[in-house]
Amino acid sequence: MRKNYLMTPGPTPLPPQVTEAMSRPIIHHRTPQFQTILKEAGEGLKYVFQTKNDVFILASSGTGAMEAAVVNLLSAGDVAITVEGGKFGERWTEICKSYGIIPEVINVEWGKAVEPAEIAGRLKANPKIKAVFTTQCETSTGVTNDIRAIGQVVKDTGAVLVVDAISSLGAIDLKSDDWDVDVVVSGSQKGLMLPPGLGLVSVSAKAFNMANDSKCPKYYFDLKKAKKALEKTDTPFTPAISLVIALNESLRMMKTDGLENVFSRHRKMAEAARAAVKALGLTLFAPSAGSDVVTAVNVPAGIDGEKLVKTMRDTYGITMAGGQAELKGKVFRIAHMGFIEEFDIIAGISCLEKVLAQMGYKFNVGSGVKAAEEVFLK
């Protein structure tokens, strides 16, 4: 017998209410019954996205929502800023290139946040830039970008601001409307505590205006079709019915807790994780811009990072994430997003200590758990 703990930055563990909702008998989507659910989900999403804009629910992973943002806003030959500072920032560049959009790449050192002034400078130098694609939490490095400050520099230009909040939505604050974010994209399997399969995208009036001129090819991800359907509380194609029903459950949970409390819980989990790894003598990969979504930790000298993650998972059932791309084997990532509470963190840190000790790393056994407990006792 083994008990499994998922501490990865997507997918994340499911609350029992969500699992139960997923197992209900299927209903038909062109019915008043489903319309009631769709309507409630739409309102709940506006609450979590902190927006008055429509939020569209797509049957795709988060990347589908990213692609939808690109193909609905732009045309081949357009220029758009893409902020790269990790694997997911690079994805914006790759999607743009796939559609003949010319990316103006801002290269940020992995582990650092983008300087909003750099974005301002590029926009000023080239007024033809139509969009700024960035990431709130760069999940591959555990960095949070300052979206509020970026909103300030984009809002009075002709460009729209598009934010990948796939890992951060429902984990850290993102005031879409107050911070002048035109398009926010997210996915179901991270902060929203659902299985993978839903892409979510909110679209401002400024962005919809731009969409009228967009010539990128699109069919399934045509948001004008989605908007027309939504006006009749409908979807253009068969929605992921069970996932939408489950979404309603997770949104209800978040509404009951209140967004402020959801964010402060994440802050506390992150604080405990950071305190624990530091107490173990480990160092953070992104000490200057760490996120409350996921913590990337440098693998100490002499320890095989991939083996560390594999042993925690295969021997003890605690799944953390390794590093991606150039960080493979160099960092491991502790996700503290979604349905995670303090005793999950304690279990995770305890397992980390056990495997580090077995691998010959020298530290005071119990010091990580102690540091985490001290944060929770505060």
Ligand X SMILES: *Cc1c(COP(=O)(O)O)cnc(C)c1O
Work out how close the CB of 261 gets to ligand X at its nearest, in angstroms, rounded to a whole number.
23
From 12, 44, 250, select the one nearest 139 (Cα to Cα): 12
Work out how close the CB of 68 gets to ligand X at its nearest, in angstroms, rounded to a whole number.
12
- State which residue, 54 or 138, has the beta carbon closest to ligand X: 138
What CA–CA distance (Å, rounded) separates 378 from 260? 18
- State which residue, 215 or 328, has the beta carbon closest to ligand X: 328
Decide: helix, strand or coil at residue 141. coil
- Concatenating the DSSP letter of every residue in 276-305 gives HHHHTT--BS-TTTB-SSEEEEEPPTT--H
From 165, 175, 236, select the one nearest 199 (Cα to Cα): 165
Tokens found for residue 304:
């095989």
Work out how close the CB of 197 gets to ligand X at its nearest, in angstroms, rounded to a whole number.
9
Work out how close the CB of 259 gets to ligand X at its nearest, in angstroms, rounded to a whole number.
20
Decide: helix, strand or coil at residue 44. helix
- State which residue, 64 or 368, has the beta carbon closest to ligand X: 64
- State which residue, 170 or 368, has the beta carbon closest to ligand X: 170
- State which residue, 44 or 62, has the beta carbon closest to ligand X: 62
What CA–CA distance (Å, rounded) separates 182 from 204? 5
Work out how close the CB of 117 gets to ligand X at its nearest, in angstroms, rounded to a whole number.
23
Work out how close the CB of 83 gets to ligand X at its nearest, in angstroms, rounded to a whole number.
12
Q: Which residue has the tokens 């914006």?
A: 92
- State which residue, 36 or 107, has the beta carbon closest to ligand X: 107
Work out how close the CB of 190 gets to ligand X at its nearest, in angstroms, rounded to a whole number.
6
Q: Which residue has the tokens 């009075």?
A: 156
Interacting residues with ligand X (CB under 6 A): 9-10, 61-63, 88, 135, 137, 139, 164, 166-167, 187, 196
- State which residue, 41 or 65, has the beta carbon closest to ligand X: 65
Bridge partners (DSSP) listed for residue 55: 202
Work out how close the CB of 216 gets to ligand X at its nearest, in angstroms, rounded to a whole number.
19
What CA–CA distance (Å, rounded) separates 33 from 376? 43
Q: Helices 342-358 & 305-316, crossing angle to 10 degrees?
A: 120
Work out how close the CB of 304 gets to ligand X at its nearest, in angstroms, rounded to a whole number.
25
- State which residue, 164 or 173, has the beta carbon closest to ligand X: 164
What CA–CA distance (Å, rounded) separates 169 from 189? 11
What CA–CA distance (Å, rounded) separates 10 from 327? 18
Q: What is the separation, in whole angstroms, between the first and last Cα of the chain? A: 35
Bridge partners (DSSP) listed for residue 322: 332
Tokens found for residue 210:
């731009």
Bridge partners (DSSP) listed for residue 201: 56, 185
